Chain A
Amino acid sequence: MNLAFAAAAAVLFGSGAYLLLKRDLVRMVAGIMLISQCALVTIIGSSLSRGRAAIGVRPGEEVSDPLPQALALTALVIGLATVALLLALVHRVVVALRSAEQDELTADEAEDEAGLERERRAEKDEVA
Chain B
Amino acid sequence: MVASPGGVTGAGDDQGSVRLPGDRLGWATCLAAAAGFVLCLFGWLAGGGAVSLPWAPSLNLRLSFALDGLGALYGLLATGVGALVFAYGTRYLSLHLRHQRRPAAERWRFWPWMALFAVAMVGLATAQDLVLVFVFFDLTAVCSYFLIGFDRAERESRTAALMALLVTVVAAVAMLVAAVLLYAAYGTFSIPELLARAGPGSTTTVAAALLAVAALAKSAQAPLHFWLPRAMAAPTPVSAYLHSAAMVAAGVLVIGRVYPLLARSQAVLTGLLVVGATSIVVGGVLALRRDVLKQILAYSTISQYGYMVMLYGIGGTDGAGAAAFYVLAHGIAKSALFMTAGAVTMATGEDRLSRMGGLGPRAPALAVAAGAAAATLAALPLTMGFFKDELLFSAALSGGPVTAVLAVVAAALTFAYIGRFWMGLFLGPVRGEVSATSRLLVAPVVILAAVAVLGGVFVEPFAALAGDAAGEMTGRAVALSPSYHLDFRPENLMALAGWGLGALLIAMPRVSGRMSEVMAAAGERVGPRRCYEATLRGLVRISAALHDREVRDLRTSIAAVLVPAGLLTALAFAATPTAGAYFVGAVSGADWVILPLLALVVIVTVMIVRSRSRLSIVLALAVVGFALAAVYALVGAPDVALVAVAVETVLTLVFVAALARIPRDDLGAVAEPARVGRRRRDALAGGIAGLAAFATVWGFLSQPATDSVSEAQIRLTPAAHGGDVVTVIVADFRGLDTLVEITVLLAAVIGVATLLRRGRLWGVVRNGRAGRKPAPKRADGDGPAIAAAEHRPAGKVFGWLVAPWRLDRGRARIATSAVVTPGAGNDAPSAIVRVVARQLPGPALMIAIGLIVKGYVEVGDGFAAGVIVALAIGLSYVAVGAEAAEAALPMLRHAPKLAVGGLLLALASGFFALALGEAPVTHRPAPDESVVKIGTLELFTPLAFDVGIFLLVVGVLTMLLHHFARPHGEGHR
Which residues from chain A sit less than 8 Å from chain B, CB to CB? 1-24, 26-30, 33-34, 37-38, 40-42, 44-57, 63-67, 69-70, 72-74, 76-85, 87-102, 105-106, 109-110, 113, 120, 124, 126-128
Contacts and interface: CB of A to CB of B under 8 A. Distances in A.
A18 B558 CA distance: 11
Contacts of B671: 22-24, 27, 101
A85 B169 CA distance: 41
B666 A127 contact: no
B624 A69 contact: no
A128 B807 CA distance: 34
Interface string B105-145: 00000000000000000000000000000000000000000
Contacts of B702: 2
B846 interface: no
B698 interface: yes
B797 interface: no
Interface residues of B, number: 125
Given A30-B621, A81-B748, A14 B691 contact: yes
Contacts of B650: 80
A106 B655 contact: no
Contact of A56 (B158, B591, B857, B963): B857
A115 to B, nearest CB: 12
Given A4-B595, A81-B748, A92 B651 contact: no
A3 B644 contact: no
Contacts of B709: 67
Contacts of A126: 155, 158-159
B723 interface: yes
Interface of B: 155, 158-159, 162, 532-533, 536-537, 540, 544, 552-555, 558-559, 562, 582-587, 591, 594-595, 598, 601-602, 605-606, 608-609, 614, 617-618, 621, 624-625, 628, 631-632, 635-640, 643-644, 647, 650-651, 654-655, 658-659, 661-663, 666-668, 671, 674, 682-683, 685-687, 689-691, 693-694, 697-698, 700-702, 704-705, 708-710, 713-714, 717, 723-726, 729-730, 734, 737-738, 741-742, 744-745, 747-749, 751-752, 755-756, 790, 805, 807-809, 811-814, 857-859, 863, 960, 963-964, 967
Pairs A-B, 3 closest by C-beta atoms: A14-B690, A18-B686, A64-B636
B945 to A, nearest CB: 14
Given A17-B689, A81-B749, A84-B960, A65 B812 contact: no
A4 B674 CA distance: 33
Given A95-B812, A102-B554, A34 B635 contact: no
Contacts of A27: 614, 617, 671
A102 B430 CA distance: 72
A9 B691 CA distance: 10
B714 A7 contact: no
A115 B400 CA distance: 63
B883 to A, nearest CB: 19
Nearest to B808: A96
Contacts of B685: 17-18, 21
A14 to B, nearest CB: 2
A106 B554 CA distance: 8
B520 to A, nearest CB: 19
A65 B708 contact: yes
Contacts of B582: 2
B284 to A, nearest CB: 27
Given A34-B624, A95-B662, 20 more contacts: A3-B585, A14-B689, A15-B609, A23-B671, A26-B659, A54-B636, A54-B725, A65-B710, A69-B632, A69-B726, A73-B643, A80-B651, A84-B651, A88-B755, A88-B964, A94-B666, A96-B808, A102-B555, A127-B537, A128-B533
A95 B690 contact: no
24 contacts: A6-B701, A8-B601, A14-B693, A15-B605, A17-B686, A18-B609, A18-B686, A26-B667, A41-B628, A44-B631, A44-B640, A47-B635, A51-B636, A55-B857, A66-B729, A67-B709, A69-B637, A73-B730, A80-B745, A84-B651, A88-B756, A90-B662, A92-B755, A106-B554
B749 A19 contact: no
A101 B667 CA distance: 8
A5 B598 contact: yes
A70 B729 contact: yes
Given A91-B658, A95-B808, A106-B554, A15 B686 contact: yes
Nearest to B642: A73
Contacts of B532: 128
B632 A72 contact: yes
Contacts of A57: 714, 717, 725
B647 A55 contact: no
B812 A96 contact: yes
A94 B644 CA distance: 29
A128 B536 contact: yes
A70 B734 contact: yes
B690 A13 contact: yes
A120 to B, nearest CB: 8
A78 B756 CA distance: 20
A98 to B, nearest CB: 5
Nearest to A113: B552
Contact of A17 (B584, B662, B690): B690
A57 B711 CA distance: 11
B752 A84 contact: yes
B808 A66 contact: no
B698 A3 contact: yes
B691 A82 contact: no
Contact of B755 (A37, A40, A78, A89): A89
B609 A19 contact: yes
A28 B553 CA distance: 14
A95 B585 CA distance: 50
Nearest to A105: B554
B609 A33 contact: no
Contacts of B697: 5-6, 9-10, 13, 42, 45
A91 B701 contact: no
Interface centre among B621, B637, B714, B805 (most CB of A within 10 A): B637
Contacts of A99: 666
Contact of A55 (B651, B668, B694, B723): B723
Contacts of A67: 708-710, 713, 729
A106 B332 CA distance: 61
A79 B647 contact: yes
Contacts of A72: 632, 637, 640
A66 B594 CA distance: 19
A120 B547 CA distance: 13
Given A70-B729, A78-B741, A54 B693 contact: no
Contact of A26 (B614, B756, B790): B614
A30 B620 CA distance: 10
Which of B159, B617, B700, B710 counts the most chain A CB atoms within 10 A?
B710
Contacts of B618: 30
Given A20-B558, A74-B738, A94 B609 contact: no
